[in-house]
Structure 1
Amino acid sequence: MNPMYPIAQIRQIEQAAQATLAPGTLMQRAGTAAAHAALELIKFPHQQTSILVLAGPGDNGGDALESAAHLAQLGLSVSVLLHADPDKQSVAAKQALLRAQASSAKFIDSSQTNDVDAVITSTPWTLVIDGLFGIGLTRPLPDQLHQIVNTINRLHCVVLALDVPSGLDADTGNIVDDQAGGRGVAVRASHTITFIADKPGLHTCDGRDLAGQVQVARLGIDHSLFPASAIRLNHPDLFAASLQQRKHNSHKGSFGDVAVIGGALGMAGAVILAARTAAQCGAGRVFAAFLQDAPAYDSAQPELMCRRAHELDFSAMAVVIGPGLGTSAAARDVLLHALQAATPLVLDADALNLIGAESSLQKIVTQRQAVSLMTPHPLEAARLLGKSGAAIQLDRVDAARRLAAQYGSVVILKGSGTVIAGVDGEIAINPNGNAGLATAGSGDVLAGLCGALLAQGWPVWEAALAAVWLHGAAADTLVAQGIGAIGLTAGELIPVLRSGLNRLTAEQALLRR
């Protein structure tokens, strides 16, 4: 179900498959799959259809040459920009080059011109196929390719990347950078056809901006050659079992209590956002608990019960602590009280910062018997692991996995392609959401949703998966309606989250009939 594999495992699968096939078979299959994907994107080829194929020195370039040969044999106008020394190509890539040369494809010799940019921009391309470098890239793209990539990224046409956009790390989703600190470049594709299996880097960090729409071509490799995967793409199927319609014979006590704790001076809005989310996403009762004096009530959501944090008994409710909490001594005291309660606990925002700064609190988190769910953004994750924010972003999957193992908690590492990590090392990468979520309060809404699901009895892993998926889907729905991404506010997510949760629950009920 939506498995993903790191590069090392992809190599093992590929080698096992090649041992059972004639030489060059996988490259030919990849080229055929790429040609079919290209035709789907063009849809209605005509006389003005023109395709530019970028072919690099490795097997990714061989895949591109195979696709060029297929497309040219169909009568399409295909031009190939070859960046490879034929004498250094693999046997399979050499065969692909011969097939492309025997077709009607035209070859552009970039070495014979000082202005590659002019050569590329002189034709209104319908489609560009990027086969410069695949998953084996460990160094930044060569300097001579920077201009070509930057030019491709300025074109107004469909760009299809083969396996991964050239310049992107398939494991981490980062652009491969110069070790001396220089910024690398990568192709910005509108579509990616990735071979054998999906890769984590296509769905997190820079990958979401560079890969575009991703499809997987397994290349006919037998299922038995694929090992069990610890990384998956998040999807409602992964939490469908917890989507249960409510019985008529139920009451508010059937759906649990949530306490949202935070709201230091000037930050009361964070508690209100999280508490409103918990109320509108199914919790039976919701307490909004403040470090300072609590308001009499929330005029927009009077169902919320406003309290001072130290007055609450946390023992019989799901607790969300951290939104607007601050890092004062009083904040630490209420956090300690929450950590010591045997209750499902969502640790967010300043709760995470307090834990990251104090080893005694870290020890208590690791020793808790009750459910803990942590929702850090990269800087909070960095404090928890004693690293820099940049180090977290270098490998988001590894960082999330380390956090989960170190703290014995399910972890939601927020960001582009949010990573959810289980204590057992299981990983899910979330595929939806958009830049509209980069706004104050959206994390508070996510924390409140997590609390609501835990209060209703969801297992912590499924609650994390569902909360992140629904959060991203709500943002996508609002953007589709013209509300954002620019200017989307966190409060606008809440009613859309409620609708999404009810819709998924109803759909799942129909499937069970």
Structure 2
Amino acid sequence: MNRLYSVAEIRAIEHAAAAVLPDGALMQRAGQSGANAALDMLPFSTNRARVLVLAGPGNNGGDALEAAAHLAYAGASVTVLHYPPTGESSAERQAALQRARVSDAQFAEAADTDGATDTDAATGTAGAAEALVAGADWNLVVDGLFGIGLKRPLTGAMRSLVEAVNLLKCQVLALDVPSGLNADTGAVVGAEGVAVRATHTITFIADKPGLHTWEGRDHAGLVDVSRLDIDAALFPPASMHVNDVKLFARHLRPRLHSSHKGSYGNVAVIGGARGMAGAPLLAARAALHTGAGRVYALFVDEPLPCDAGQPELMCRGAGDFDLETAALVIGPGLGASSAAAGLLARAIAGDGALLADADALNLIAATPPLREALAGRKHPAVLTPHPLEAARLLECPVAEVQADRVLAARKLAASLNAVVVLKGSGTVIAAPTGAVVINTTGNPALATAGTGDVLAGLCGGLMAQGWPQWEAALGAVWLHGMAADVLVADGAGPIGLTAGELIPAIRVALNRMVQHHGR
């Protein structure tokens, strides 16, 4: 399982490793790893490859200089755009610079970086850097401008340089983190900031959450991890992970021939206020195709006589249904009426599996007694907010949620005693204990109405079959994204994919997973 570490944790690991290794060993290993990753991206005949290496003023620049030397020795035509530090350079960076200078790499010294360090943004004055970037047919650009310590947005000449790199059509390899990206949060540094859009990132020591959520997914590209041969004993237990089938595989069980519909639980989807019948039907269909034995679509207003597209669903009025007999998914198309609030209060008061989505979340945000009742449940509920719903629950701007999605999800999970699924690019799943998982399946095809309803029903279907809340949330988010990935790979998106198309793809993915992982 791929562990994720914060910048502070990685700094501590780096410090501990450096104390027991020869001087400069970590930088040398990072440079070699970066060069190996670059060589894998270059044409078969390295001698004809043109590589531009961007070496910033700090230790990330030192990693880039080491990589440049290795690439030059391997026969690539390497040009180094070098931003020297204005202050004292570290000994290991100075040694890396010397190795690069005695190689066949060609150097272009950049303009003054205005005192930039590895923890400050370069400003500087405009020079010929953009012309160098745009003036050759590069096979690869290696980004070693800034590492994990960047605090301020890129401005001036450095901003222009990054913008020029982002206009190129070639592959871009980021060393550790794309320059301009916050490694902890996945946000581009600064409200109007820029960051390198890499096609690949080779990240050092350990994986970082910011590479997998929010804007990080648009900037990091394919992520590989080089642990730099650091002793495993120096890594503390991780509280964050990348979502993986291994995290929920124990619940993927083949069905017994002697089973029946009662073996697989009931799901009741509660919603369907006037004019919003589609949302609960999507959720109910997803629960059915996920394998729940019986699925009810419960309407807060007048129920439909049936779902003509899925007659296996049972359409009922929500007020007369015994909510203790099913795993509950409440919120899709629920509305904000007093009847909706009453149903939500009843659902929260029960002891069974509960997932709250959409309008249910808005009612909880606006109603302190519902919030208190939710936090006091014996069995934590699953909450599936999108960023705006999360902002309402946290009583903060949406921008604050997106600025640190991991922190926002953790705050919600702790304050509401719930498993929180903060939807969006790189969905964040957080437990009340502080554990966090970031999901890497899925794509922009999911940015369409109804996909959240499908996710809610999918998770409810897993809970009805006995999956604990945490594993159900992990499995549902992973399957939901994988279905979208498969559909896009088959040409059915991302443009124009509809939520209903996900449902049969989810069923196929789940059955294949059971065949492969089930016991």
Q: Please indicate the TM-score interval, normalised by the length of the shorter structure.
A: over 0.9
Match of 1:425 in 2: 434
Q: Deviations over 1:13-32 (max 9, x none)?
A: 00000000111000000000
Q: How does 1:72-91 map to 2 (within 5 A)?
A: 72-85=72-85, 88-91=88-91
Alignment check: 8 A CA contact 1:281 1:452 kept: yes
**Residue 386 of structure 1 aligns to which amino acid in structure 2?**
E
**Residue 15 of structure 1 aligns to which amino acid in structure 2?**
H
Match of 1:265 in 2: 274
Distance 1:46 1:22 in 2: 31
Distance 2:339 2:86 in 1: 69
In structure 1, the residue corresponding to 2:196 is in which secondary structure? Answer: coil
In structure 2, the residue corresponding to 1:88 is in which secondary structure? Answer: coil
Q: How does 1:311-460 map to 2 (within 5 A)?
A: 311-460=320-469
Alignment check: 8 A CA contact 1:163 1:194 kept: yes
**Residue 174 of structure 2 aligns to which amino acid in structure 1?**
A
TM-score (norm 2): 0.96
**Aligned-pair CA distance for 1:398:** 0.6
Q: Where do 5+ consecutive residues of structure 1 fail to align?
A: none
Q: Deviations over 1:194-252 (max 9, x none)?
A: 00000000000100000000000000000000000000000101000011111111110
Distance 1:175 1:83 in 2: 21
**Residue 395 of structure 1 aligns to which amino acid in structure 2?**
D
User: Stretches of 4+ moved more than 6 A in 1?
Assistant: none
**Residue 94 of structure 1 aligns to which amino acid in structure 2?**
Q
Match of 2:18 in 1: 18
**Aligned-pair CA distance for 1:83:** 1.4
Match of 2:61 in 1: 61
Alignment check: 8 A CA contact 1:86 1:94 kept: no
Match of 1:5 in 2: 5
Match of 1:176 in 2: 189
Distance 1:142 1:58 in 2: 17
Alignment check: 8 A CA contact 2:380 2:417 kept: no
**Aligned-pair CA distance for 1:321:** 0.2
Match of 1:92 in 2: 92
**Residue 333 of structure 2 aligns to which amino acid in structure 1?**
G
Match of 1:486 in 2: 495
Alignment check: 8 A CA contact 1:343 1:371 kept: no
Match of 1:105 in 2: 105
Distance 1:374 1:494 in 2: 21
Distance 2:501 2:279 in 1: 14
In structure 2, the residue corresponding to 1:506 is in which secondary structure? Answer: helix
Alignment check: 8 A CA contact 2:178 2:195 kept: yes
**Aligned-pair CA distance for 1:68:** 0.2
**Residue 326 of structure 2 aligns to which amino acid in structure 1?**
M
Distance 1:226 1:430 in 2: 22
User: Is 1:140 the equivalent of 2:149?
Assistant: no
- Range that drifts further, 421-430 or 87-96: 87-96
Identity of aligned residues (%): 57
**Aligned-pair CA distance for 1:343:** 1.3
TM-score (norm 1): 0.97
In structure 1, the residue corresponding to 2:81 is in which secondary structure? Answer: strand
In structure 2, the residue corresponding to 1:78 is in which secondary structure? Answer: strand
Q: Deviations over 1:444-474 (max 9, x none)?
A: 0000001000000001110000000000000
User: Is 1:501 the equivalent of 2:501?
Assistant: no
Aligned residues: 506
**Aligned-pair CA distance for 1:86:** 6.6
Distance 1:508 1:367 in 2: 36
User: Is 1:122 the equivalent of 2:135?
Assistant: yes
Which residue among 161, 167, 179 is the counterpart of 2:174? 161
Aligned-CA RMSD value: 1.2
**Residue 72 of structure 1 aligns to which amino acid in structure 2?**
A
Alignment check: 8 A CA contact 1:349 1:380 kept: yes
In structure 2, the residue corresponding to 1:215 is in which secondary structure? Answer: strand
Q: Deviations over 1:74-122 (max 9, x none)?
A: 2210000011237532111111011101111001133398443222211
**Aligned-pair CA distance for 1:370:** 2.9
In structure 1, the residue corresponding to 2:302 is in which secondary structure? Answer: coil
Distance 1:209 1:45 in 2: 30
**Aligned-pair CA distance for 1:158:** 0.6
Q: Where do 5+ consecutive residues of structure 2 fail to align?
A: 113-125
